[in-house]
Structure 1
Amino acid sequence: MFIKKKTFHMLVDKTISKIEKYLDEYNGKLDLDYENNGKITKINFESKNEIIITRQEFLKQIWVATKSQGYYFKYKNNKWICRKKKHELFEFIKKYLFKKTQEKYFK
């Protein structure tokens, strides 16, 4: 599926906005913070873990880096899907956040 440059950026912006709204729901409840400079979004945990989300315009992908691994998401059927693991991006972020905060708050 070919995505035009303008459409790609619109889709990424919409996805990042959805992730930020999800994070805002937990504002003050969890020790994490995020910042977005337009091309890179960083989610930082008090435990020094972080998630880095970048848009790869040339490849029309979103890349997600965690402390232990990198994931590449391509837009298919109205979703960002991981090439290897077949995770959907937003669900992947939610599960990763739960895993990291569960370790801290539910021991």
Structure 2
Amino acid sequence: MTDLEFMDLAEKLLLAVERSCDDINEASDADIDNQRSGGMITLTFPNRTQIVINLQKPLHEIWMAARSGGYHYRYDGSSWQDTKGEGEFFACLSRAASLQAGIPLTFAG
């Protein structure tokens, strides 16, 4: 994968995270604050916990830091998969966000 291909796919993922936050906030009382700065999104929950998602361009990876741990994702040709076999990015983000928010949340790509 070239740097340009990575950035295109990664940008789509970040936009999907932002869109999902907006959809979740409209449909529930989750009240997730999402702040974007370049290639990084910080999700802040009402209990002040955070999930940080950022791009690692030299490695062609997306990293996520949550209370449950740190995760690295690589694109496998169809989806962003955890490098240690923990699953697909949006499923993992949904799990981590649900834990931190204390209510079921679903993020989608």
What TM bracket, shorter-length normalisation? 0.7 to 0.9
TM-score, scaled to structure 2: 0.84
Take 2:46 and 2:22, find their aligned partners in 1: how far apart are those partners? 16
Structure 2 residues not aligned, in runs of 5+: 104-109
Whose radius of gyration is greater, 1 or 2? Answer: 1
Q: Percent identity?
A: 25
Q: Give the superposition deviation at 1:68.
A: 4.3
Summarize deviations over 1:40-89 as a string: whole Å, max 9, x none.
Answer: 11001121211111100000000101134110001103111001133100
Higher RCO (CA < 8 A, seq sep 6+)? 2
Q: CA RMSD in A?
A: 1.5
Q: Is the 8 A contact 2:46 2:101 kept in 1?
A: no
Aligned pairs (5 A) from 1:75-86:
75-86=75-86
Take 1:97 and 1:67, find their aligned partners in 2: how far apart are those partners? 9
Moved over 6 A (4+): none
Structure 1 residues not aligned, in runs of 5+: none
Take 2:64 and 2:85, find their aligned partners in 1: how far apart are those partners? 13
Aligned pairs (5 A) from 1:19-98:
19-27=17-25, 29-98=29-98
Count of aligned residue pairs for this structure pair: 101
Partner of 2:106: none
